[in-house]
Amino acid sequence: MLLVSIEDRGAVRVITYANAPFGTMTAAGSAEMFGAVATASEDPSVRVIVITGGIPGIFIRHYDVGELSDAADAIERGAPRAPSPPGPRPPGFHALTDMIAAVEKPVIAAINGLCMGGGFELSLACDLRIAGNDVTAIGLPETRLGIFPGGGGTQRLPRIIGEARALEMVLRGLTVTGPRAHEIGIVHEVVADPLVRALEIGAELSSRGAEGLASAKRLTRTALDRPLAEGLADERKSFAAVMRTASARDGLRVGRPPAEIQKV
C-alpha cells in the first residue's frame, strides 16, 4: 500500500503522507518518504518541497508505537537480528529527517493537523513550518510513555525555541495548539489553510536563484555548530561562488536601480 503521494504545483513538489486511519509514521512510510524527498531533491524542475498530511486533521500523528514496542521487546530478549534481505537496507526515519535538513532546496512543512512525536520531529527538520489555526496538538509526548524523543527532537527543538522552553516541552511531554506554537516560535505562521500558504511561499522562493537559496540554507543550518570565524570564512567563499552564477547576475541586473537614481 502506497503511503506517500506527490503532486507538482509549478516548481513546488507537494509530498503527502497518509497512513490511514491513524496517520502514524512507520518504517515503510519512512522509506517511502525518503524516496520521495530524494527524487524531488534530484529533479531540477523542482525548486521547493512541501510536506503535508493526507488525512483530515492529521499531519503525522506520531511514530507507530507498535513498531517501537516490538523493537524494545527484541532488545530486551536479546533476540538476534533477522538476516537482512539482499540489496541495500531501506532508509529509516533518522535518514529521512537528516536528508530533509540537508537537501539543498527549501522544505516547508504544511502542518494540517495532529503533529506529535516523530511527526513533530520530521517537521523540525524542515526549514519552514506553517500550521493550521485549528491544529490541536503539536509536541513531543514521548516521556509520558517512558521514553524520550529519539528522532532529533532533543537536538533540533532547542535550536529553534531555546534550551529552557525545549526542556519544559520535552521533560513534561507537552503539546501545544497551532496558535500557541506560533507564539513560542515553533511554527513560522498559523493560518486557515497551511497548504495554500505553503504553496504561496513555495512560489515566492521558486522565483529566486537556486544557488543562492542553497548556500543560504546550508550556511544558516550550520551557523551554530561551528566557530564564528569558520562560518564567516565559508560565507565569504560561498558568496563569491554564487556571485559567479547566471541566476545571481540576472537577479542583480533586475534589482539594479535606474541610472538616473544611481547618479543622485
Instruction: Based on the residue annotation, tell me whether 104 is a catalytic residue of this protein.
Output: no
- Distances in Å between the alpha carbon of 142 and those of 21, 59, 69, 145? 21, 17, 13, 5
Which residues is 175 bridged to in the sheet? Answer: 139
Do 45 and 155 reside in the same domain of the chain? Answer: yes
Residue 262, pLDDT above cutoff 50: no
Do 172 and 222 reside in the same domain of the chain? Answer: no
Residue 194 CB-density burial (10 A; 0-12 exposed, 13-18 middle, 19+ buried):
buried
Q: For residue 190, name the pLDDT band (cuts at 50, 70, 90).
A: very high
> In terms of DSSP bridges, do strands 4-9 and 12-17 run parallel, antiparallel, or are they unpaired?
antiparallel
Do 85 and 183 reside in the same domain of the chain? Answer: yes
- In which domain, by residue range, is 157 found? 4-206
Cis status of the peptide bond prior to 90, with omega within 30 of 0: no
Query: ∠ at Cα 108 (117, 65), nearest 5°?
Result: 15
What's the pTM value of the predicted model, to 2 decimals? Answer: 0.91
Q: What is the pLDDT of residues 209-257, one digit of tens each?
A: 999 999 999 999 999 999 999 999 999 999 999 999 999 998 888 876 5
Q: Which candidate in 42, 104, 142, 260 is catalytic? A: 142
- Distances in Å between the alpha carbon of 32 and those of 40, 71, 176, 248, 252? 12, 20, 28, 35, 40
Amino acid at 192: A
Do 116 and 199 reside in the same domain of the chain? Answer: yes
**Residue 197 sits in a domain of what CATH number?**
3.90.226.10
Do 201 and 223 reside in the same domain of the chain? Answer: no
Last residue of a domain, one of 162, 180, 206: 206
Last residue of a domain, one of 189, 206, 223: 206
Q: For residue 95, name the pLDDT band (cuts at 50, 70, 90).
A: very high
Instruction: Based on the residue annotation, tell me whether 142 is a catalytic residue of this protein.
Output: yes
Return the residue matching grid coordinates 543562492: 212
Do 73 and 180 reside in the same domain of the chain? Answer: yes
Q: Which candidate in 121, 168, 235, 260 is catalytic? A: 121
Pick from 129, 67, 123, 64: which is nearest to 97 by CA?
Answer: 123
Contact 140, 117 (CB under 8 A): yes
Mean pLDDT of the chain: 91
Last residue of a domain, one of 160, 177, 206: 206
Do 66 and 185 reside in the same domain of the chain? Answer: yes
Do 175 and 221 reside in the same domain of the chain? Answer: no
Residue 146, pLDDT above cutoff 70: yes
Do 189 and 89 reside in the same domain of the chain? Answer: yes
What's the pLDDT at 69? 76
Separation between Cα atoms, residue 122 and residue 179, nearest integer Å: 19
Q: Which residues contact 247 (CB under 8 A, 6 or more apart)?
A: 208, 209, 210, 211, 212
Do 195 and 216 reside in the same domain of the chain? Answer: no
Do 53 and 71 reside in the same domain of the chain? Answer: yes
Domain count, the chain: 2
Do 79 and 170 reside in the same domain of the chain? Answer: yes
